[in-house]
Amino acid sequence: MQLIHSIQSEWLKTRRSLAAWLVIIGGFFIPGLQLIGRCVHHQQLGARMDDPRYWETFAGNNWQIMSLFLLPMGVVLAASLITQLEYRNNTWKQVHTTPQAFSTIFVSKLSVILTMMLQFMLLFNLGMFLAGILPSLLFSDVDLPKEKFPLRFFWDTSYNFFICSLPVIALQYLISLQFRNFMIPLGLGLGLVIAALIGAEWKHGYWIPYAYTPYNFFIMRGIKMQATQAVNIHHWALGYTLVFIVLAYILYIFKRDKG
Amino acid sequence: MSCIEINQLSHHYSRAEQVLKEVSLKVPEGSIYGFLGPNGAGKTTTLRLILGLLRQQSGEIKILGKPFAPHREALLSKIGSLIENPSVYAQLTAMENLKVWQKVYQCPSTRIEEVLDLVGLGHTGKKKAGQFSLGMKQRLGLAAALLHQPSILILDEPTNGLDPGGIVEMRELLKTLNRELGISILVSSHLLSEVEKLATHVGIIHLGQMLFEGTLDELKKRQQQSSGIQFDTGDGAKALQIIQSQHAAAKLENGQVSVPIHDRALIAELNRQLVQAGIPVYQIQAAQNDLETIFMNLIK
């Protein structure tokens, strides 16, 4: 019961926070750009709406930009901003003098980050759906897509990207719990995202957890990479996540100064 | 009975820097305990250790008769605290800030308005806490500390950043909480004048060591004992000899002879004897004996 109250409390803190805005803006950013482009060039949409794989192609276009850079970067920012809320507002000491177990505080904060990730996925999918269908409703020369909305495909794709984001969330959570200075988790995160993009073609690229969302996109598009053929990146993502969370928990519990 | 009891508490941040040296203190239940010391004396470290914000290295901390570490959560539910700078979520309103803590403490939502009114922030409406003055943030911090109706309040320099009017209001509020609700208060300060007006008990710490602990009356008694008359003469050593022959407690301090007497006739008599002995007497004055001097003497 205490955990639920703690999560509710943590969720309230995200109200009007930068992380909360990031989730909303991040979720609608790419679909929003797609929608504007499709509205401006609606005359060229006719043939595309007849595509029997209309939704898969459209989702692929959206995920391409999102998975390569924006998603890992957004995860880095959001996970770091949640703990930064406490550092910036000087509130760790108040949190740690409430009658909650340290484990409860650790889990509730992580739960909020994961919930925000789910919220992002939901908004991104909603954005894609709206961007895919709105031109047909706004312009008479654009028919509705012939293909029925493939709910299962969208679910599976989001699920896989979510799994691939977990190690990034866990490592960023670990780092940001340890450092007051926001630039450290942000700098390390950005560095690792860039390293992942550079090292994506390396045959051992699966060692870099920040490369998993681009890898998932390549798998989605059927592009063969040495790293993705060598291992199951989803299993590696879950393994990394477990290791990072356990490590983050130990470091947090044994932190000498808690505020 | 003591609501907070610390025995032989020592702490160091690095091997070279011992911040607390076997500090012991007892905060009697129902008291306002003024924890006094200059900046860097170890007050905040002591309070952070009591609240479990720093890992205890040695010594013993008991709250309401129970050791803190094994009963941390149960004891924290009875403590309200305000340590150093106020803790407020800048993007939330005062009410939303308290809602965050209300969810954790699971106290009735009606408490939010009650404590906001109590600290004079009931009117802040939709204004974000980030736009508050330091004094308002401090009061919001106090409201958060009071939300769950604690039996102990631990406050670290709560008047920091308050204007003179705010300091008086805060003092009166703490006295009311103590008197009417029976809340025991441990309040740190580096201002003796502040503690003097508020506390029933005083602990003085300097360079990580407790120098005095007792009631305010005991501190004042010490003040009276150390009061007396100072003779500024041309020959301190010889003057001391003459005065000590009649008052063994006389002593030489900074070239002046201090005697713990107040009788005007005796003072005149001593003066006469000094003059008769050919010692020039330049000045006879009452020794500085206010609490400020006692404090300064203790931390010298």
Domain B1-78+180-225, CATH class in plain words = alpha beta
Q: What are the structural domain ranges in chain B? A: 1-78+180-225, 228-299
Q: Is the pLDDT of residue B220 over 80?
A: no
CA distance B18 to B20: 6
CB A96 within 8 A of CB A170: no
Q: Which of A41-45, A96-100, A111-115, B173-177 has the lowest mean pLDDT?
A: A41-45
- CB contacts, 8 Å: B83 with chain A: 93, 97, 259
pLDDT, residue A22, reads 92
- CB contacts, 8 Å: A107 with chain B: none
Residue B87 to chain A, least CA–CA distance (Å): 5
Mean pLDDT, range A154-180, rounded to an integer: 95
Task: Please indicate whether residue B228 or residue A90 has the higher confidence score (pLDDT).
Answer: A90
Q: Is the pLDDT of residue B258 over 90?
A: no
Best of A6, A21, A22, A98 to mutate (most B CBs within 10 Å, chain B): A98
CA distance B265 to A143: 115
CB B41 within 8 A of CB B206: yes
pLDDT, residue B299, reads 66
Q: Is the pLDDT of residue B217 over 90?
A: no
Q: Which residues contact B35 (CB under 8 A, 6 or more apart)?
A: B25, B43, B46, B47, B186, B187, B188, B189, B203, B205
Residue B19 to chain A, least CA–CA distance (Å): 14
Q: Which residues contact A101 (CB under 8 A, 6 or more apart)?
A: A2, B73
Mean pLDDT, chain B, as a whole number? 90
pLDDT, residue B65, reads 93
Indicate the pairing of strand B152-156 with strand B184-189: parallel
Q: Is the pLDDT of residue B44 over 80?
A: yes
Strand (E) or helix (H) holding A125: helix A102-138
CA distance A259 to B47: 12
Q: Which two tokens stand for residue B19?
A: 């911040």
Q: Which two tokens stand for residue B32?
A: 């306002």
Q: Is the pLDDT of residue B153 over 70?
A: yes
Taking alpha carbons only, the member of B154, B146, B143 closest to residue B119 is B143
Characterize A26-55 residue by residue with b for buried, 16 or more Cβ atoms within 10 angstroms of its Cβ, and e for exposed. bbbbbbeebbeebeeebeebeeebeeeebb
Which residues of A lie inside 8 Å of B (Cβ-Cβ)?
5-6, 8-9, 12-13, 15-17, 85, 88-91, 93-94, 96-101, 256-259
Residue A10 to chain B, least CA–CA distance (Å): 7
Residue B150 to chain A, least CA–CA distance (Å): 11
pLDDT, residue B221, reads 77
pLDDT, residue B202, reads 94
* Cα B77 versus chain centre, distance: 24
Please work out, in degrees rounded to the nearest 5, the angle formed at the alpha carbon of residue A177 by the alpha carbons of A23 and A68: 40
Task: Please indicate whether residue A187 or residue B261 has the higher confidence score (pLDDT).
Answer: A187
Taking alpha carbons only, the member of B148, B178, B149, B189 closest to residue B38 is B189
Per residue in B107-126, pLDDT (tens digit) is: 999 999 999 999 989 999 89
Q: Which CATH number fits domain B228-299: 1.10.150, 3.10.450, 3.30.70, 3.40.50?
A: 3.30.70
- CB contacts, 8 Å: A90 with chain B: 84-88
Q: Is B19 helix (H, G, I), strand (E, B) or coil?
A: strand
Residue A13 and residue B99: Cβ atoms within 8 Å? no
- CB contacts, 8 Å: A253 with chain B: none
pLDDT, residue B252, reads 87
Nearest CB to A97 within list B76, B86, B100: B76
